[in-house]
Amino acid sequence: MQKNSSILDVDERKVLDLLADAWNAFCKLEQIHVDHPTEFRHAIHQAERVVMVRGVKRVLDKEVEEARDVH
């Protein structure tokens, strides 16, 4: 796992960037149903949450492990 100064690793950041690229590409498509942009945006946001929680989980797991080491 490559690291940077963020809570996310480099590969997770790349996934977020690819999701942003997917959104930008989708927005360039001809709109064929009024609900599609909203549905796609919600799906992108859900995927972003799944990626971002990985960093939070690592931090919480490390804190739990450090607390066990203290006791």
Percent of the chain, pLDDT > 70?
Answer: 92
Asked if residue 57 is part of any domain, the answer here is: yes
Has residue 4 got a pLDDT over 90?
no
Asked if residue 1 is part of any domain, the answer here is: no
Has residue 10 got a pLDDT over 90?
yes
Asked if residue 5 is part of any domain, the answer here is: no
Asked if residue 16 is part of any domain, the answer here is: yes
Task: Mention every residue, 6+ apart, whose C-beta is less than 8 A from residue 21.
Answer: none
For the entire predicted model, the pTM comes to 0.81
Cα–Cα distance measured from residue 65 to residue 10, given in angstroms and rounded to the nearest whole number: 23
Per the structure, the count of domains in the chain is: 1
Asked if residue 4 is part of any domain, the answer here is: no
Cα–Cα distance measured from residue 11 to residue 16, given in angstroms and rounded to the nearest whole number: 9
Q: What does pLDDT average to over the chain?
A: 92
- The boundaries of the domain holding residue 35 are 10-70
pLDDT in tens, 28-62: 999 999 999 999 999 999 999 999 999 999 999 98
Asked if residue 35 is part of any domain, the answer here is: yes
